[in-house]
């Protein structure tokens, strides 16, 4: 997550020494221990108050208030029912690397959406300009429209999973 430019904070109810050790092993930016559920929620509120986008990942009853306060609350599927009910997203299992994969796919998807949106604006602006000066007849306009839409659809296919080798 650090390579993606994300700041990570470990908020835990465990002793500070344990939290610091686990945080160091995980490579988080900051590790804060000995927190009660309302203190975790306060941390999230304060980060949001600083105009930060906060994704809270948790699995226990003690995480539920912070999951609700976050921009996106993410519960581990192996966690408690309360955490899953409080979250916006539920990850199947307890593998945090799946969360990182999800972020990578989401960022890639957003990039392609922005490419398509920008392309649409450019093509439509050029078309409107050409039509305004009489350089565009209906047949040519339809051809440009269909061709550009096809290009954007093909651009979107880059999101499809790559097929691997077929095994028998």
What's the pLDDT tens digit per position in 42-83? Answer: 999 999 999 999 999 998 889 999 999 999 999 887 777 888
Is the confidence at residue 168, as pLDDT, over 50?
no
Across 38-45, average pLDDT: 96
pLDDT over 90 (residue 28): yes
Q: Is residue 165 part of a domain?
A: no
Domain boundary (58, 77, 93) is at 93
Tell me how many domains the chain contains. Answer: 2
pLDDT at position 167 over 80: no
119-148 tens-digit pLDDT: 999 999 999 999 999 999 989 999 999 999
- The answer on 116 and 89 residing in a single domain is no
Q: Could you tell me the pLDDT band of residue 149, with boundaries at 50, 70 and 90?
A: very high
Q: What is the DSSP string of 68-101?
A: HHSSEEEEETTS-HHHHHH-SEEESSS-HHHHHH
Domain end among 52, 76, 93: 93
Beta carbons within 8 Å of 155's beta carbon, 6+ residues apart: 112, 115, 116, 119
pTM listed for this prediction: 0.72
The stretch 30-36 carries a mean pLDDT of: 96
């Amino acid at each position: 997550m650090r390579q993606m430019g994300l700041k990570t904070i470990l908020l835990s109810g465990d002793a500070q020494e344990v939290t610091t050790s686990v945080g160091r092993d995980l490579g988080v930016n900051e590790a804060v221990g000995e927190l009660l559920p309302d203190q975790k929620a306060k941390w999230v509120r304060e980060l949001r108050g600083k105009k930060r986008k906060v994704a809270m990942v948790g699995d226990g009853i003690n995480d539920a208030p912070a999951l609700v306060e976050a921009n996106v609350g993410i519960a581990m599927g192996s966690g408690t029912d309360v955490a899953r009910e409080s979250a916006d997203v539920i990850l199947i299992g307890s593998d945090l690397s799946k969360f990182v994969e999800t972020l990578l796919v989401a960022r890639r998807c957003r990039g392609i959406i922005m490419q398509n949106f920008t392309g649409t604006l450019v093509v439509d602006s050029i078309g409107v300009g050409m039509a305004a000066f009489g350089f565009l007849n209906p047949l040519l306009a339809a051809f440009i429209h269909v061709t550009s839409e096809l290009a954007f659809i093909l651009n979107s296919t880059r999101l499809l999973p790559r097929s691997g080798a077929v095994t028998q």
